[in-house]
Amino acid sequence: MNETEQLRNEILEKTKAYFRLAHAPKLIAPFDKGRSRVNYAGRVFDEAEMVNLVDSALEFWLTYGRYSKTFEKRLADYLGVRWSLLVNSGSSANLLAFMALTSPLLRERQVKRGDEVITVAAAFPTTVAPIVQYGAVPVFVDVELETANVDVALLEAARSEKTKAVMLAHTLGNPFNIEKVRAFCNKYNLWLIEDNCDALGSEWNVQKTGTFGDISTSSFYPPHHMTMGEGGAVYTNNPLLKKILLSIRDWGRDCWCESGVDNTCGARFSRQFGTLPKGYDHKYVYSHFGYNLKATDMQAAVGVAQLEKLDGFTAARRKNFAHLKEGLQGLEHFFILPKHYPKANPSWFGFLIILREETPFTRNEIVGYLEKNRIQTRNLFAGNITRQPLFDVLDEGKDYRIVGDLANTDRLMNDAFWLGVYPGMSEEMIDYMVSTIRDFCSGYDAPASV
């Protein structure tokens, strides 16, 4: 072993020791009821993530490199898809996925400005934003209450001659009716983008969500199923879409050389593109109006270690969800508790609680009580996104359409909140959430009509 390797090993050993001293005690600190905070999500990691991160820092490649390559391959294998591409966030993944559909390489299936994309308003903003930013028209349909997912019965009514795609998230890890949505897309030759940002590890009929869409997306922001701080991915089985995604992720270039590599195509200075001079350097030929959405190799290094833990995380999320649901049995006169389709096996992102119309307290009253008792809660993202200030500059009927009413979406905006089930939670924490909710409810009589 030479001096460099020896030093590197020493640093990595010290990193492990540092983790054990600086982080491990916080991760295993006993739960102190009413004093410890019950967060809805958080990073769950050990020395492996820190060692990979430091290893990558020492290598100092910084941009797309060996960890990124490994991560993309392992994520694709985990999902059972041909390709995954690493990007710097879930929002970037959605932007990239949508913009790929605007590529002229897709010919008559290219999404053009003014074309319509069916989605829901009970959404995270960056599932919808790329559609609007490009100048396509989001068409909003209502959701079912119990799953907070698209009501598939409304898809036919939402379709017009301009419909080119459907873009939907699996809300809080609970798969939408992918069979019906996929069949609808197949029937009318529409693209499907599955926003899988909150559902990595969820399944439909034993097949992973994110593998049904033409393109699907992930987020690796800390609350998600696994993290690299900031990060995301797009994945696809379609070779043409993969080529387009790669181009738009990497500045819009035509060339597919990896960072630091030249002439992968073997024809770098000999081809003719557009009206450029013959032999114009392929590295500087652009076939799309692209971005740079790449992540760093340090982010990927953390992701590689997290992927190893993903099955364990999924099992913990399912266990925590089941424990919480069991604890809340008997409170259904106040709450609608989450349901999933028989074919779905969710890797839950969170536990959605919807107050019944007859419930004698408000969402903000119970949420206020829980927060006061150090239990973190979350609203269902943007609620009804069409009611958010960002829609003030848009005209209904021209810039977006609403099909029917969004009554259930509004109900979720007004009466729903969610709690965490992340793998860092202990049984004690879940029992504490249950007892705090029960304490709150004990101050109210059951509504007569339920």
The contact set with ligand PLP (CB under 6 A) reads 89-91, 94, 124, 126-127, 169, 195, 197-198, 219, 221, 232
CB of 353 to ligand PLP, least distance (A): 18
Helix (H, G, I), strand (E, B) or coil at 218: strand
Angstrom distances, CA of residue 114 to CA of 102, 111, 133: 12, 9, 11
State in angstroms the smallest separation of the CB of 199 from ligand PLP.
8
Which uninterrupted H or E stretch holds 336? strand 335-336
Helices within 30-150 (DSSP H only)? 47-59, 66-79, 90-100, 125-134
- In 3D space, the residue among 185, 91, 170, 77 whose CA is nearest the CA of residue 131 turns out to be 91
Q: Which amino acid is at 238?
A: N
Q: Say whether 288 is catalytic.
A: no
Q: How many CB atoms lie within 10 A of CB 440?
A: 17
Buried/exposed 60-81: b ≥16 CB within 10 Å, e otherwise? ebeebbebbebbbebbbebbeb
Tell me the C-alpha distance between 173 and 347, whole Å.
6
For the record, the structure tokens of 270 come out as: 């000999």
Q: How many CA atoms lie within 13 A of 441 on its CB side?
A: 18
Write down the least CB distance from residue 125 to ligand PLP, Å: 8
CB of 187 to ligand PLP, least distance (A): 26
Q: Which residue is nearest to ligand PLP (CB)?
A: 90
- Rounded Cα distance between 201 and 218, Å, is 11
Smallest CA-to-CA distance from 376 within 28, 19, 40 is with: 40
Residue 396 identity (one-letter amino acid) = E
Tell whether the torsion through CA atoms of 101, 103, 109 and 112 is positive or negative: positive
Strands (E), 95-242: 116-120, 137-141, 163-169, 191-195, 203-204, 207-208, 215-219, 232-236
DSSP state of 18: H
CA distances from 360 to 325, 385, 413, 441 (A): 21, 27, 18, 10
Tell me the Ramachandran region of residue 340: left when phi exceeds 0, alpha when psi lies from -120 to 50, beta otherwise.
beta
Minimal distance, residue 168 CB to ligand PLP, in Å: 9
Catalytic residue of the set 224, 225, 288, 323: 224
Coil vs helix vs strand at 418: strand
For residue 246, the minimal CB distance to ligand PLP (Å) is 20
Smallest distance, ligand PLP to C-beta of residue 31, A: 26
Question: Nearest distance from residue 195's CB to ligand PLP, in Å?
Answer: 5
d(CA 134, CA 123): 18
Q: Which two tokens stand for residue 45?
A: 């990691």
How many C-beta atoms surround the C-beta of residue 249 within 10 A?
A: 28
**Looking at the annotation, which residues are catalytic?**
224
